[in-house]
Structure 1
Amino acid sequence: MGEPAINELEFLAEILRKHPTDSLRKIAEEEGMDYYRLKRMYDRYYGKYISVNAMYNIRVIGLRSYLAFLGVPSERILEVGYRMTQNPFVAYVNPAFGFKNGLSAIIYVPDDQRDDIDEMLSRYSDDYEYHEVRAYPYSGDDNFGEWTLAYEYAVLMDILKVDARTPVTKIAERLGKTRPTVKFMINRLREMGILISFEPTVDNNVHDRSVLGITETLDESVLERFREYEITVGVFPGRGYVLEWFFSSKEDLGTKILEFSSYVDRILISYFDPTFKELNDRNSINVYSRIVKKDGSGYRSILEF
């Protein structure tokens, strides 16, 4: 199959944003579209270039999000990255170079295991730093819940995170439940504030680099200044901000650094390597069913892996 037609991919993403879990026939009917045209487009792109994924509020289930940077010798980056992606509490790892040469990682840590972060990271490197990160703008909410659900909910969350359009019948077979029970479980996740939404995600083959910057103060004009770029902002509560700009390796790296350096105190370049993407994707398939204890009594230790 050739490269995707961007206009078709964007059109499908917009349709799935409005109808994330509806059947194709229902979507075609409500949108006044030709069903067979929609189906051809869907069959061409879905599961290859685009998917619909569940978005969760992990604070409700007692997970804190951290951004970690590890100094790792270049000849050991793949080996250490592989070991890190065997740990389901490590959400994402990529090679990175700048104020720390080695790896950058996103890790999720149960609220009651924060004291174990240093021991966890020291298993991968003697040279590391980490920062708790929250969504921007920061609400100030520091109330963290805990895992109080049966283990089957962890399996369900994994299924919906990978593909929220998985038919309820297939989910019911996987869980050994009835269709009404699965629908009840999904509604319960919503009512508890764990399941926020279902969102289409486009596999980004364009942006294979990012400039990540840390700053004590945020100049909000940067959001307008670089509006044409894909940019994300995170908050280090009480300590500063992290800004990340995504771009293509075809663009000039030096120019990017010069453009963004005036807005941040420290800079690091992340490389979205295909090998690491495969490792990260494999690690993310069944995260919740690996971090939750089989008896549903809470989380396993971040030091088990």
Structure 2
Amino acid sequence: MTKAGLAEFNAVVAVADHGSFRRAARELDMSASALSHAITTLERRIGVRLFNRTTRSVSLSEAGEAFVARVRPALRELGAAVEAVNAFRDRPAGSLRINTSEGAARQFLAPVVFGFLERYPDMRVDLVAEGRLVDIIADGFDAGVRLVEAVPKDMIAVPIGPAQRFVVVGSPAYFARHPRPETPADLLRHDCIRSRLPSGAVFRWEFEKRGEQVVLDVSGKLTLDNQNLRLEAALAGVGLAYLTEWDTAVAIAGGSLVRVLEDWTAPFPGLAIYYPGHRLVPAGLRAFIAFARSAFPVCP
């Protein structure tokens, strides 16, 4: 098998997996036009059309389904052979594509990714931070980093870092004009900075105390879809914000934000690295998980 042939076979399987030249090209770190050319070259060489293409979709032909059924396990075995040899290296090499949220990226990037790249200079990391939860397999990622509760059930999840906690905060200027809330119900009489989720829905604030749970659809003149902007709005005295303890720690310690309803916000499980269990775990990902667990240990 020539090097070019192996690349073409990988291209076919990637397009079959994603049903899209664009997403497959992203996984393979090449342009969509180069990917299309590679597959067209292979089809001409073997004299059979492997994909049915329209302007809106791409799907395997009958011949393509038979081809992928034979090629996929062979590529898996080749990948296993490469990983087996890679285990003998002093340090892993290659690239990792990781999907995460903006909040997790802020917590995760400095203590983990920067240190990981310093320790393993032959590795490359492509970290994509976005609000929406994506299908990491379909979008060509090796792993994801999200809150434990958001990890899909069919994934292997490795918890990292401490538990998380939401806090309700406002600026001293805001509380100079308004009384501090004593219970969650008091928030309904306050101007709250609301949060819009990637789905378009407005996030409801959740509270718990001695088994009593309260979920509120708070009101307010400002709704934002970015946690940094919500923090800035709270600092500016626009209203009360519902943010993570991690994001507000510096401002609370410095006195620019005041925390309220502290006994109503219970901790919940923090972040986890997750990846598909049916795939071979690359040496680079294994090293990344081990490094993350040592640099960002789970707290009891």
Shorter chain as denominator, the TM-score bin is under 0.3
Structure having the higher helix fraction is 2
TM-score normalised per structure 1: 0.20
Q: Please tell me whether Structure 1 or Structure 2 has the larger radius of gyration of its CA atoms.
A: 2
TM-score normalised per structure 2: 0.21
